[in-house]
Chain A
Amino acid sequence: MDFPSTQFVSSQTMATYEPIHQIGMWGENFKSISNPNISASVIVDVVNKLENESETTSHEMLASSSKHDQEASKPFDKIQRRLAQNREAARKSRLRKKAYVQQLENSRLKLIQLEQELERSRQQQGLYVGGGLDTGHLGISGAVNSGIAAFELGYERWMEERNKQICELRSALNAQISDIELRILVESGMSHYFELFRMKSSVAKADVFYVMSGKWKTSAERFFSWIGGFRPSELLKVLVPQIDPLTDQQILDVCNLKQSCQQAEDALSQGMEKLRETVSATLASDQMGQGIYVPQVAMAMEKLEALVRFVNQADHLRQQTLQQMSYILTTRQAARGLLALGEYIQRLQALSTLWANHPRKPA
């Protein structure tokens, strides 16, 4: 039984991909093979004969077994046979799908290269059409750029809001306001951080490497980066001394939280290492010397998709750490913690600016 699959895999024009209709009942397959030498009536005869055969076998079983077994075995056989056939069909289909996707990915790489060349030559000739946000014209890279542009704009606003909140916290703690009012400030501080994680998740879908690089942050912040953000256990090390005194129970809880964070971070770090090994091995899995646009690149892209999962998982860990701290601490302690965190990051940013501007000895 040969599907006409070899035709479309080697077809030059992408437009000829048709959904596979032949998967499923093998009877239908016989009917759809277009062989002019077999007339329709012959096909139908063959199908009927084979279907009659299956009925006769079940009739035989009817004679030899009890009524109860007969009711149970007939549909069971049918299901088993269908399962086996489907497994075979599914396996073939998966192979075809894989070959097709690899071909698509190769074309995608070529397309991106062509687009870039086109863009370059257009600009050279002064025929630049459309604005930066017109993603229809700029295509794939345009969509990514607008996602990043939106994030950077959002992050600017987010930083302004955060700096404002830090000032409010500072004056609130000095002014000795009520716990209820303080609670409101703490809650808005927490949800502000959660908002950042949402923004990051959104831009990670567009360009996960952008999130991994931490480009929107200052250089000193990037120095401490772990999978696209701060390391939860480091955060705890920075915060805890700032929110003394803690009760014995709180000390125990924070200790347990720190340990859990470290274990989770270890697991994710090792998972990331495994991902690097996998991508590297896939990229180099054939003999080198065959050029750049080889299937290995497309296959490595598939593996790289897992990076988005890791970035999201790391952010989830950060969110959970903040959440757990808010449960362990009192309102006042949480407010002091948020203030400490905000000021710490401001100091990192100041460090970056200072470093960028300090005079260096000439080489």
Chain B
Amino acid sequence: MENPDPPSMKEELLSLHIRLLAPFTGSSKSSSPDPITEGFEGGDFEDLAIFGMDKVTRLASEKGVVLFSKSSCCMCYAVKILFQELGVTPTVHEIDQDPEGWEMEKALMRLGCNGPVPAIFIGGKLVGSTNEVMSLHLSGGLMPMLKPYQTLC
């Protein structure tokens, strides 16, 4: 095979490719060790996940519309705008400003929220993320759920 480049430079370029691309390919999520959870055995992690889940379920069961968000997340901002337009003021928990934010994030992911934010609960029940809220709204199912919590202004 013809190889016009000096082998060393090409090898360096290729190895740099692999190193740089790995975090951006979907597979790396499962194969590379997460520096945050590495060093923990299964039992330890379970304790922490339980604390996160406790906090999330406690906050989620508050009356009305509960939104788990991150202050830096623009999709969360879009969902906040939507609720505003619908005359609802959700209780917003910015998990990136919460000391137990990481535990809450893991808990939300375990509940099936891939984002993991935005995650919306209405009347204590998990509605889902942006997809579910949009689908529900277009099918006409969101307004009846929000009716008891609308603030008349």
A285 contacts the other chain (CB 8 A): no
Of all chain A residues, the one with the shortest Cβ separation from B76 is A271
Q: How far is the CA of A285 from the CA of B23 in the complex (A)?
A: 25
Interface residues of B in 1-35 (CB under 8 A from A): 2, 4, 13, 15-17, 19-21, 23, 32-33, 35
Which one of B40, B75, B102, B135 lies within 8 Å of A24 (CB-CB)? B40
Contact A324 B139 (CB under 8 A): yes
Contact A317:B134 (CB < 8 A) given known A15-B15, A19-B38, A23-B36: yes
B16 to chain A, nearest CB (A): 6
Contact A79:B77 (CB < 8 A) given known A19-B38, A127-B4, A320-B138: no
Contact A93:B36 (CB < 8 A) given known A108-B20, A271-B75: yes
Of all chain B residues, the one with the shortest Cβ separation from A319 is B135
Of all chain B residues, the one with the shortest Cβ separation from A314 is B134
- A253 cross-chain contacts in B, Cβ below 8 A: 140
Which one of B4, B47, B99, B139 lies within 8 Å of A87 (CB-CB)? B99
Contact A260 B81 (CB under 8 A): no
Contact A320:B135 (CB < 8 A) given known A127-B4, A266-B85, A306-B73: yes
Which one of B13, B44, B137 lies within 8 Å of A111 (CB-CB)? B13
- B140 cross-chain contacts in A, Cβ below 8 A: 253, 256-257, 260
Contact B81 A267 (CB under 8 A): yes
A90 contacts the other chain (CB 8 A): yes
Contact A21 B39 (CB under 8 A): yes
Contact A21 B38 (CB under 8 A): yes
Q: How many A-B residue pairs have CB under 8 A?
A: 132
Contact B35 A129 (CB under 8 A): no
Q: Is the interface of A mostly helix, strand, loop or mixed?
A: helix
Which one of B4, B36, B72 lies within 8 Å of A129 (CB-CB)? B4
Q: How far is the CA of A87 from the CA of B140 in the complex (A)?
A: 43
B74 contacts the other chain (CB 8 A): yes
Contact A324 B131 (CB under 8 A): no
Contact A22 B20 (CB under 8 A): no
- A83 cross-chain contacts in B, Cβ below 8 A: 47-48, 51
- A198 cross-chain contacts in B, Cβ below 8 A: none
Q: B77-118, CB under 8 A of A: which get 1 and which 0?
A: 111011001100000000000010010000000000000000
B119 to chain A, nearest CB (A): 14
Contact B78 A267 (CB under 8 A): yes
Q: How many B residues, CB 8 Å from partner? A: 42
Contact A267 B79 (CB under 8 A): yes
Of all chain A residues, the one with the shortest Cβ separation from B84 is A267
Interface centre among B4, B32, B36, B140 (most CB of A within 10 A): B36
Of all chain B residues, the one with the shortest Cβ separation from A17 is B19
What are 28 A-to-B residue pairs whose CB atoms are below 8 Å?
A: A19-B38, A21-B38, A23-B39, A82-B48, A83-B48, A83-B51, A90-B102, A93-B35, A94-B36, A111-B13, A111-B16, A129-B2, A257-B140, A260-B138, A263-B82, A263-B86, A272-B74, A272-B78, A274-B74, A278-B72, A278-B74, A310-B74, A310-B75, A313-B131, A316-B131, A316-B134, A316-B135, A320-B138
Write the residues of chain B forming the contact surface with A, with a CB cutoff of 8 angstroms: 2, 4, 13, 15-17, 19-21, 23, 32-33, 35-36, 38-40, 44, 47-48, 51, 72-75, 77-79, 81-82, 85-86, 99, 102, 130-131, 134-135, 137-140
